Chains A and B, each alone.
Chain A
Amino acid sequence: DIQMTQSPSSLSASVGDRVTITCRANQSINSHLNWYQHKPGKAPKLLIYAASSLHSGVPSRFSGSGSGTDFTLTVTSLQPEDFATYYCQQTYRIPITFGQGTRLEIK
């Protein structure tokens, strides 16, 4: 199975900050990397697919980059609604696997 490792596991930031979350795969996954936002009791939301493409309806302050094994999710100018847990996911090979999650908290 392809192992996905996110860092950091948790992060404290303030409204208006820029934050970056990284995700590393233990083998190349080309650009088959997605990012999700998840809030308790809610459906996970797709933010970025294919490493850098913004999903429909997602604000442009979210962006993704990377290919191969190393990827990043950047959120510029954090808004109150952005505090949540973020997951990366690879769809290069079955089984689909997720990172362990990054909890973004208000400082």
Chain B
Amino acid sequence: EVQLVESGGGLVQPGGSLRLSCAASGFTFSSSWMHWVRQAPGKGLVWVSRISTDASITSYADSVKGRFTSSRDNAKNTLYLQMNSLRAEDTAVYYCARGRDGGTPDYWGQGTLVTVSS
């Protein structure tokens, strides 16, 4: 069974940093592209980032480019999202998802809440 468990969310001040983790199991993590998607309170789903199997390719939404960095440790079956220079508008539940055939996010975690506030 595919399982994805996010962690690392919490309350952070504007301008601060946070690193999210996503622990994967039940599939061959090293062969799977991975995505981050977020949902602000009361809003819809917004794609944030994706990373290739060997981390050689990363892509980001314009709203986070230059501030967020996706990475992965295939030996630990773990995906990361380093978030710097956080803003109030980054407040959201952050989901990790497996990329089916490199593209379509098919299995998702339950999410971790990030709140950016002073």
Q: How many A-B residue pairs have CB under 8 A?
A: 58
CB within 8 Å for A95 and B45 given contacts A43-B95, A43-B109: no
The 10 A-B pairs at the shortest CB distance, nearest first, are namely A96-B47, A43-B108, A91-B103, A101-B44, A98-B45, A46-B106, A94-B59, A49-B104, A44-B108, A43-B110
Give chain A's interface residues, CB within 8 Å of chain B.
32, 34, 36, 38, 41-46, 49-50, 55, 87, 89, 91, 94-101
Flag if A55 contacts B47 (CB, 8 Å). Answer: no
**B67 at interface by CB-CB < 8 Å:** no
* Majority SS at the chain A contact face: loop
Number of interface residues of B (CB under 8 A): 24
Flag if A97 contacts B44 (CB, 8 Å). Answer: no
Distance between B39 CB and nearest chain A CB, rounded to angstroms: 8
Which of B4, B35, B47, B107 is within 8 Å of A97, CB to CB? B47
Q: Which residue of B lies closest to A96 (CB)?
A: B47
